[in-house]
Amino acid sequence: MTDVTDEAPIRPADELTGWPRTRFRLLGLWIAVAVRMRAPVWMTLPAIRSVGPLLEDRTLVPAMAAIAPQDVRRTLDVRYGRSPAELLDVFRPFDAHGPLPVVVWVHGGGWIGGTKNDLRPYLAVLASHGFAVVGVDYTWAPEAHYPTQVVQASRAVEWVRSHAAALGIDPHRLILAGDSAGAHIAAQLARGLTDAGYAARAGLRLAPVPVPSIRGAVLTSGPFRLGPSKRDATMGAFGDLLLRAYTGHRDYLRVPMLRTASLVDDLDASFPPAFVSAGTTDPMLADSVALARALDGHGVPVEEAFFPADHDPELPHEFAVDLRRPEARDVLERIADFVRRRTAELPGASIDE
């Protein structure tokens, strides 16, 4: 268990000069050509992972750290499994009494990157509303292929539930949550844990959780259509690369299990109540809206946090975890209210009646 440590600063792309800037541009050109030509994943990902940090907003993490509350206990880098990537963080208000509801949050990163560490300030703010919040790491693709990441998230849930007494949480008041690719992992986990038949079709060997214990799902900026429309309409060539990395198949549309992972196309009323959000210019907006509509069509209680198309300013992918934005703070308050109401509900009752 360790505290957050500062890493050596990485200069953002707009501050590069000379050879570093030339190198950055050449890498960008190589990535664009390689992605368009469907080059093998092993040829493309190293360049993407090296350029990615240069494209990030380097002010976000320090700004979020300044926002993070000080009255939240942080237990960091706890091992929940044998893989080096199987680590989790636990956030809990210092002054909380009694077993708390728990939100298990899976980070994004296109399945090929990302880390729970960048979400620590955000998850601490969420925990300050009176919950235990767990941030989960998993093995990136293509180092591990689907459905490994979903199974790892299940393993994290199993660890949290088995350590409920020590963590001061209520294992029967569980919310599954995630952002971007993590939202897809969390949603598929929710689908598999509440429908054993679906889990079998999807090839998901999950640690069992009593269905009434899963009180809801919080899903922000997630991809939920992984069928033919994904490559051609929603994510384009880059989405094609991500799915090749995630599945380990060049022609991933022929992989039967991927069809079950296209959650919009494989839902029923067993899915837990959901909170769904995406930004106005988010490439995942159409997927998020489609999921919300599909859930509603199956009679699943769903709450939406979408904004008018002409909203000013534009709200990009993952805007909700940037609490410098008033819209993100509003969404977080709505998430906290959703968690509070859903976890206050008695198993078998309905707060919608």
The catalytic residue positions are 180
First-to-last C-alpha distance (Å) of the chain = 44
Closest to 220 (Cα-Cα) out of 100, 330, 73, 297:
330
Residues 6+ apart with CB under 8 A from 8: none
Tokens for 8?
A: 């050596």
> H or E segment at 197?
helix 196-202
> H or E segment at 216?
strand 214-220
Scan for tokens 């998230």, then name that residue: 153
Q: Round to whole Å and give the CA distance between 65 and 6.
A: 11
Strands, E assignment, 45-183:
72-79, 87-93, 100-106, 132-136, 169-179
